[in-house]
Structure 1
Amino acid sequence: MCGIFASVGFAPERERISIVAHRGPDGEGWETRSSPAGPVALGHRRLAIIDTSEAGRQPFSDPSGRFLLTYNGEIYNYRELREELIALGDSFRTHTDTEVLLAAWRRWGEHALQRLVGMFAFVIWDDKEKQLFAVRDRFGIKPLYWVEGQGGVAFASEIKQLLDLPGGERRMNLPRVHDFLVGGISNHTAETMYAGIRQLRGGEWAVVDAQDSARVRITVRRWHDMRRASVPSMSSDEAAETFRELMEQSIRLHLRADVPVGACLSGGLDSSAIVGLMSRILPEEHQGLHTVSACFTDKSVDEKPYMDAVVSATDATPHFVFPKPEDVIDHANLITWHQDEPFASTSIIAQWCVFAEAQRTGIKVMLDGQGSDEILAGYHFCYPYHLAHLVRQIRLGAFLSTIMARRREQGRAVASQFAQVAFALAPRALSDVMFKVHSERLKHRWLDTDVLNAIGRQPSPLRTAAESLGLPSPTDVASLCDVMTYASNLPMLLQWEDRNSMAHSIEARVPFLDHRIVEFALGLEAEHKLAGAETKKVLRQALADVLPPAVRDRRDKLGFATPESNWLKGPLRPLIEDGVAKTLETCPGLLNGTGVRRMLDDFLKGRDALGSTLWRIVNLGIWADRFRITVA
């Protein structure tokens, strides 16, 4: 895991890579070339994970000197690819996956991408053709931003590396800021919250043609096919067996490293399953299994009993951190700088504390459970789509039994379930009206300003996310999983994870996002994901023997939750009150001050549960202040 930078046409500035030294404390590299369109620069900050010797230093050149690579990520099947390339006549001077990646590109070009199992963002300069290729992995696990301005184009691991380049403005991209404030969503389109700064989406690549002295030309294409794989109908046992085989294969690959490997453990199904499988496989690769967890004294969000059950079952060495309200005060500004954009929840701070503890423990690679909820419909908000699909299929028996199971096991009121299903069944025009009415009720007209009214009426963030990739708006579990995986939830979670882990010079790996697992899971029928009140059925069945019963049979869902509402009303009340005032001052004209203050008063007096919305307002102000972002 590393930090990269590349530019064509712009004057080379080495500080563009130095600013992300936290992503790679093990070395810095910088090389320049020339082209008809102007200077070419490639920079790299190294976090040494595989072949930690100086042989892995980047930017990395092939023996001919034609190709130059700067690369962030891991190619987990590099050993197999290396043997294949050797059989074809290639030779290698290092044991790095970097050299394998460049050799694969040299031999197969863009067709090499389909052979890669891993997470990656890389840039390759072809000195012969005077072209630069920038590539991002299938699901956007590793970041890659870009900006195009007068005279050039640049790519980088973090947005801050692109600021103040031509086109890299310190100005709000108002539609994306609106989506964040209304729905708490970000990273769901090719745009960022900065005007002019974009990202390659997961599964995309860009070609920069520098052969013309008059201009640099960039073309963005998609290399990964998002069409749902065809998975044959199968029994529960068959689905579980296949899922188990894929998971074991993925864990083995994700344990390839020449440094200590540990795991994030939340006590939920996903992280517990990973730790359980690691405990079976790790003795072949490493000595000992270390886990890091965030715990809370507030029992409403504390999952330590489940963590303890996993630790006991796996004989892991646990490390616990107890995030406090003071951590929010102490770290919010720094975390916002690392995240580059405002973040929607204080749960990010809990994750920050986990990676900070992993760094103190000396663990350099951490496996995490991101992705499972998206590919297997693990969120409770997936149920309305599932129930609506049952209604469309006229499967009323299954519909009613699911409604009653959720009332019995999840405490979901029947009336509220019917209301949610009605929303999911509504035609698009009606759902747009319902969304507008719902958002108006919540916001106390706090977004009713000339600045935001000027961008026009915005669709729901979920619809924006789907349309940004040409995906249909969700109507059932299958289409919802597609959107969550490629466009909405997962890209946002991966951004937070990347920044929090890299801030502590730790490589975070996500075994559920082996593309073979994702393709299989997305192609499964809904019955393998949701059964009554049981979520992620195929996972529970496939890994029943490695999950403690207390974890396997859970029906609640928390994730990296914090006691946010209690914190904001209690010890963090001054932060929220001062933060709201600061945001209104820092972002003049963006928000309706009267409406924001009314919302704050309602929250503090217990009349409305708007703590997460208020946090977004406060964090938006922290971001605007830290990065000197203007409204217009």
Structure 2
Amino acid sequence: MCGYVGYVNFGNEELLNRATQVIAHRGPDNQSVFWDTNQRIGLGHRRLSIIDLSNQSNQPFWNEDKSLVIAYNGEIFNYLEIRKELQNKGFGFRTNSDTEVLLKGYEYFGESILNRLNGMFSFVIYNAKTKSFFAARDHLGIKPLYFYHNNQSLIVASEIKSIIASIDYVEPDYKALSTPIHFQTAPETGFKNIKKLEPGCSMLFKNGELKIKRFWQIEVNESDKKTFNEKVEELDGLLQDSVKKQMLSDVPIGVLLSGGLDSSLIAALMQKGTSKNVNSFTIKMGANDLKKQGIVDDSFYAKQVAEDFGFIHKEIHITPNIIELLPKMVYHLEEILVDPAAINTYLISDLAKQAGIPVLLSGIGADEIFGGYRIHRAMSAFNQWGPLINNKLVKRTSAIAKNTPESLFMIPKKYTRWFKKICFLLSIDQDRRHIFAKDAAFVPSEWKKAFTSDFNFYDLNYPSREVEIFRQQDAEYLNKLCLSDALLYLPNHNLNYLDKSMMAASIEGRPPLIDYRIVEFAFRCTSSDKINNGQQKYILKEVSKRYLKANIINRPKAPFAAPLRSWLKTDLKEMVFDLVTEKNIKKRGVYNYDYIEKILKQHYSDSADHSQFLFRLLMTELWFNTFFDNKI
């Protein structure tokens, strides 16, 4: 795991060195820079040594005749097979790194090397003969790739802050900031003219022209004739092989263990595949925080799994100095990504760093592709039963729900929120329902009140992409839901914070459940393979029965949450009122202060719970302060 910066017809060696130093957290083991003064082309690289720890594998890395040079972030998990194939074709190797295999694979196969790679990667290769830059991002978007293209110049980087450190002026992208969802959707980042390459895509920059094309995409094919038992066998084999491949390392490896199905299954397969001690890490919240957040205690189950497999287990109690930590997380996340799970991930990663474990496997991604979110089950039910409900009844109930306050008699707020959300979802067509299904999403009427934007709601990136997916795909409704999450939510939200939060602590995160072969398998499954008689991730649970105890497989699903509601009423309350002010809101020009004032009063009088939106307001103000009020 590393970080890089690349310049084409831009800057100088001193600036490149500074832009590379900005991402030192991504690679604390080495910094090296290549610079061609005549061509004004250069690559800077920060290295976190994972495979082949020798200095010979430092980057930027050249081939023998100095015609190609690479800067690369990630891991190629099948590099040994590709290395052997290249050796059979006459190539020699001077290191044991996957970097050299990737570069020489490109030298021989050209762009088609991408079709041979199994891994998580983001890289750029400069071809000195053709004076061209070639870059690519892995299938699912596990590793980030940002770029800034201005006429004849190009900057590519692992993180936005390297681009900001390079250019004279940066400004907010107000259309992107007006998104109804709580994260940015590629290619948008929230910064004007700074884009992120979409997953499964490559880009070629030559003679000032930038061309982007897709080398891989998810295909939904529900016509697989295999029996369910045959599919279970196939999935078991894929999972075992993926975990085995992702345990390849020259440094110690551990696991992010929540005690849920996904991380526990990974833990079981890790234990099966090694005779070495496995380190596991989990997070624990206080009883009062668990109650306020409405979630179960993961740490109990994580401890059980660790004891079952004889792991070296460590817990961190989530009592951070959130006032100091939050600005740091905004700096590392770069995009406005409103999810306190990023804080949890950083804290666990920092604990692993202190324990000397620089690589952690994560169970992230299975919910998206196998139908594991509660909303998948709920939305599937809406789709099945919604047409049977009388339209007049839906309209009347929706009107009642719209005017129903969250604080209603003795009814817990979460139930009134669910009632209001269900009524709204039933009132709109199924192609648009998923846009509003997530807790933090704005419906059009509230969005119009909250934002100063005069854009059309359905012209915004996230809503338009959602509608496009649901209207173009010929698939069962559940697979459309999963596809949307795999294309939009997974790379732009979950994988984004996984990479940024872990790299902030100089830790490499690996998600074996979204090996691209497993993703392709998941979208050959039918809806009944994923949700069967109300049981979610059905096929994954069938595989898990071979490795895990029943109480782990069947335990209630719990989000990877932090005590956000508690923080906003205690530690963060003063920060909210210091930063979310009329002066700041009007200065930034994103939100309508009259609406914000109402939200603040409702939340702090306990008449409604606006935790998610208040956290978004706080993160937005900290984002402006970090990247616009203070130059990196």
- Contact (CA 8 Å) 2:146, 2:195: kept in 1 or not? yes
Once residues 531 and 243 of structure 2 are traced to their aligned partners in structure 1, the CA distance between those partners, rounded to angstroms, is 24
Which string of whole-angstrom CA distances, capped at 9 and with x for unpartnered residues, describes residues 533-584 of structure 1? 31111111111132232220123332x2112112212333222222312882
Asked if residue 201 in structure 1 is aligned to residue 198 in structure 2, the reply is yes
Q: 1:273 matched to which residue of 2?
A: 265
User: Which stretch of the first structure deviates more once superposed, 542-551 or 521-530?
Assistant: 542-551
Q: Where do residues 318-397 of structure 1 align in structure 2 (5 Å cutoff)?
A: 318-324=313-319, 326-390=320-384
Once residues 371 and 213 of structure 2 are traced to their aligned partners in structure 1, the CA distance between those partners, rounded to angstroms, is 29
Q: Where do residues 233-252 of structure 1 align in structure 2 (5 Å cutoff)?
A: 233-252=225-244
Asked if residue 543 in structure 1 is aligned to residue 538 in structure 2, the reply is no
Once residues 254 and 624 of structure 1 are traced to their aligned partners in structure 2, the CA distance between those partners, rounded to angstroms, is 38
Once residues 610 and 413 of structure 1 are traced to their aligned partners in structure 2, the CA distance between those partners, rounded to angstroms, is 11
User: Which stretch of the first structure deviates more once superposed, 341-350 or 273-282?
Assistant: 341-350
Q: Where do residues 27-426 of structure 1 align in structure 2 (5 Å cutoff)?
A: 27-33=30-36, 38-163=39-164, 165=166, 169-179=169-179, 182-186=180-184, 188-210=185-207, 216-229=208-221, 232-283=224-275, 287-298=276-287, 299-300=290-291, 301=295, 302-324=297-319, 326-390=320-384, 419=423, 422-423=426-427, 425-426=429-430
Give the C-alpha shift of residue 335 in structure 1.
1.1
Once residues 315 and 582 of structure 2 are traced to their aligned partners in structure 1, the CA distance between those partners, rounded to angstroms, is 34
Once residues 252 and 574 of structure 2 are traced to their aligned partners in structure 1, the CA distance between those partners, rounded to angstroms, is 41
Once residues 414 and 625 of structure 1 are traced to their aligned partners in structure 2, the CA distance between those partners, rounded to angstroms, is 35
Quick one: structure 1 residues 9 and 510, their matched pair in 2 at CA, closer, same or farther if it must change by over 3 Å? same
Give the C-alpha shift of residue 88 in structure 1.
1.3
Q: 2:392 matched to which residue of 1?
A: none
Which string of whole-angstrom CA distances, capped at 9 and with x for unpartnered residues, describes residues 13-46 of structure 1? 22111111111111111112367xx411011111
Q: 1:439 matched to which residue of 2?
A: 443
Once residues 591 and 416 of structure 1 are traced to their aligned partners in structure 2, the CA distance between those partners, rounded to angstroms, is 24
TM-score by length of 2: 0.87
Once residues 133 and 259 of structure 1 are traced to their aligned partners in structure 2, the CA distance between those partners, rounded to angstroms, is 30
Q: Where do residues 563-578 of structure 1 align in structure 2 (5 Å cutoff)?
A: 563-578=563-578
Partner SS for 2:220: coil
Give the C-alpha shift of residue 389 in structure 1.
4.7
Q: What amino acid is the match of 1:171? A: E
Which string of whole-angstrom CA distances, capped at 9 and with x for unpartnered residues, describes residues 255-285 of structure 1? 00000000001121111111111111121xx
- Contact (CA 8 Å) 2:360, 2:510: kept in 1 or not? yes
- Contact (CA 8 Å) 2:469, 2:480: kept in 1 or not? no
- Contact (CA 8 Å) 1:5, 1:155: kept in 2 or not? yes
Q: 1:500 matched to which residue of 2?
A: 501
Quick one: structure 1 residues 494 and 468, their matched pair in 2 at CA, closer, same or farther if it must change by over 3 Å? farther
Quick one: structure 1 residues 583 and 275, their matched pair in 2 at CA, closer, same or farther if it must change by over 3 Å? farther
- Contact (CA 8 Å) 2:365, 2:511: kept in 1 or not? yes
**Any stretches of 5+ residues in structure 1 without a counterpart?**
211-215, 395-409
Alignment RMSD, CA only? 2.9
- Contact (CA 8 Å) 1:587, 1:624: kept in 2 or not? no
User: Which stretch of the first structure deviates more once superposed, 251-260 or 524-533?
Assistant: 524-533
Q: 2:528 matched to which residue of 1?
A: 527
Q: 1:405 matched to which residue of 2?
A: none
Give the C-alpha shift of residue 424 in structure 1.
6.5
Which string of whole-angstrom CA distances, capped at 9 and with x for unpartnered residues, describes residues 213-250 of structure 1? xxx21111111133335661333322221111100000
Once residues 521 and 457 of structure 1 are traced to their aligned partners in structure 2, the CA distance between those partners, rounded to angstroms, is 32
- Contact (CA 8 Å) 1:164, 1:170: kept in 2 or not? no
Q: What amino acid is the match of 1:568? A: L
Percent identity of the aligned residues? 27
Q: 1:398 matched to which residue of 2?
A: none
Which string of whole-angstrom CA distances, capped at 9 and with x for unpartnered residues, describes residues 433-469 of structure 1? xx9x97366569332x3xx12x343457653344688
Q: 1:605 matched to which residue of 2?
A: 605
Partner SS for 2:262: helix
TM-score by length of 1: 0.87
Give the C-alpha shift of residue 622 in structure 1.
0.4
Give the C-alpha shift of residue 343 in structure 1.
2.3
Partner SS for 1:282: coil
Give the C-alpha shift of residue 328 in structure 1.
1.8
Q: What amino acid is the match of 2:624? A: A
Quick one: structure 1 residues 170 and 578, their matched pair in 2 at CA, closer, same or farther if it must change by over 3 Å? same
Of residues 7, 15, 18, the one that matches 2:21 is 18
Q: Between Structure 1 and Structure 2, how many residues are aligned? A: 592
Q: 1:404 matched to which residue of 2?
A: none
- Contact (CA 8 Å) 2:78, 2:119: kept in 1 or not? yes
Which string of whole-angstrom CA distances, capped at 9 and with x for unpartnered residues, describes residues 197-220 of structure 1? 00111011111103xxxxx21111
Give the C-alpha shift of residue 342 in structure 1.
2.2
Give the C-alpha shift of residue 592 in structure 1.
2.0
- Contact (CA 8 Å) 1:342, 1:620: kept in 2 or not? yes
Give the C-alpha shift of residue 327 in structure 1.
2.9
